[in-house]
A = this chain, B = another copy of it.
Amino acid sequence: MARRASTRKRRPRNPTLGGGPRAPNYRKLTNPFPPVSAFSEDRIEDIHNNAFVVLEEMGIRVLLPEARKIFRQGGALVDEDTGMVRIGREIIVEALKTAPPEFTLRAGTRERDLEMKLGALTFLPGAGAPHATDLKRGRRPSSLSDYRELVMLTQYFDALHMVNPLVEAQDIPTNLRHYSVIETQLTLSDKFPSAYSRGSPQTLDTFEILKNFRGLSDDEFQAEPWCYTIINTNSPRVLDIPMAQGIIDFSRHGQMTVVTPFCMMGAMAPASVAGALILSHAECLAGLALAQINNPGAPVCYGAFASNVDMKSGAPAFGTPEQFQANLGSGQLARKVGLPWRCAAGSSANINDAQAANETQMGLWSCIMAGSTILVHSAGWIEGGLTVSFEKLITDMEVVQIIAELCAPTPNSEDDLAMRALWEVGPGGHFFGCQHTMDRYQSAFYDPLIADWSNFGTWTENGEQDASQRALTKWQDIIADFEPPKINEDRKAEMEEFIAKRTAEGGAFPVS
């Protein structure tokens, strides 16, 4: 039991505050958790092979003639009368060979660029809701103003990596909405933007605006993904016209297509995880194949979003064990095809309560353990996607930020071992005032976004605010203090001019 002189140090005379404030880097995350499996490798192989049976024998109904033509060119059997397309597994295998396993997403600035590959981790807020809600203004059909505010919140949080269509700008006519959506994203954020696939005219408008705003030539735009779209198949086994057009347009122009069947077990998919995965996998492979036949090498993401319905009511449920297992299984399938992939959390709760928090966090962990690359609906999504809650976006971001913290290594320097502090503080003493604590008091620990750790007395004196009430203050502060990214004013003026011209011409109606 010889003393080690080097580790022994008595209390310094005058502990002094030191160290700078915390500056965590949430911008580029690598998932530190090993992927977890829901099925044996054999069973995943069975699911994979059965998905081929679905594509080869049952077929998928493709509503867009151009898409059927591309599938036929790729070797699929097409019945023009019924729209049914049967796709041999060799076609899928070839398509997966040309899909790039790694690529870079180009944002407004290089610091916001993102690597797409298995192991990378990006978070996106809730998307696609027709309603917005907050404690100040209540629940309402969502507007452009809501969308603008939610894009500001998205821009504010470094742990949100892409901009997405959080809510519908329902006050903007559908022939003009896509202009507002892309303009909002480009002027309020420098993160990687999204576009709905609602027909080629809207898509090509969006590409034109984005390309010019980023100052890119046609070739530069074509060479790398500058935006993305989410493609939802109409499960079971239908690829509709706007979705098929989206795959064709985005892949043709080298932009990222995320093919995500939305398979509710017991409704649009079988009432079993394995059955739903067969359907989801088959539909996803069909979409990926369409992109690759159309333009080999186009950047694509595997996508999956399967959960179950309440068998008594048919209501969609999220954060369930079945969603968890489906996400883990989808991760196995994504790794099998070797592509970056998109998964999702979510909640069916109607307000930002304990149920809402628990469902979304459960979904987040399922995606993390499933190794998903793009984690959609990470924050704010309630009512099974019918509403984005401003307060829930904030309370969920606490969880997202904590997970982002865990992506960095646990501090483990000699100084972190703290042997001097252990010598300094005697039995029954405390570490509040020792030099080791002073040196790191601003940076040692995560600084919470919204959590209130005060004791019951203090909390009561301060007005007994629950997490949602504190979140109400927080999002209002963020929006009040919002500073948009620096943008090129000339290009902004050009964008406005283009939009004015296109608006005068009647815009572009969605295709259906």
Contacts and interface: CB of A to CB of B under 8 A. Distances in A.
Interface of A: 1, 3-4, 7-8, 32-34, 36, 38-40, 43, 46-47, 50, 53-54, 56-61, 77, 84, 86, 88, 139, 234, 236-238, 265-276, 278-279, 308, 310-311, 313-317, 319-322, 324-325, 328-329, 348-359, 361-362, 365, 369, 383-384, 386-387, 392, 395, 398-399, 402, 405-406, 410-412, 415-419, 421-423, 425-432, 434, 436-437, 440-442, 444-446, 448, 450-456, 459-460, 464, 466-468, 471
A321 B358 contact: no
A100 B282 CA distance: 50
B398 A444 contact: no
Contacts of A313: 453-454
B446 A272 contact: no
A442 B266 CA distance: 12
B321 A453 contact: no
Contacts of A238: 427-428
Nearest to A356: B354
How many copies of this chain?
Answer: 2
A441 B311 contact: yes
A308 B466 CA distance: 22
Given A1-B86, A39-B410, A236 B428 contact: yes
17 contacts: A1-B77, A1-B86, A32-B36, A33-B36, A46-B417, A59-B427, A238-B428, A266-B445, A270-B431, A320-B445, A320-B446, A321-B405, A322-B446, A350-B452, A353-B353, A353-B466, A353-B467
B278 A419 contact: yes
Contacts of A353: 353-354, 357, 466-468
Given A311-B441, A467-B349, A275 B436 contact: yes
Contacts of A402: 319-321, 324, 362
A73 to B, nearest CB: 17
B357 A361 contact: yes
Contacts of A453: 310, 313, 315-317, 348, 384
A410 B274 contact: yes
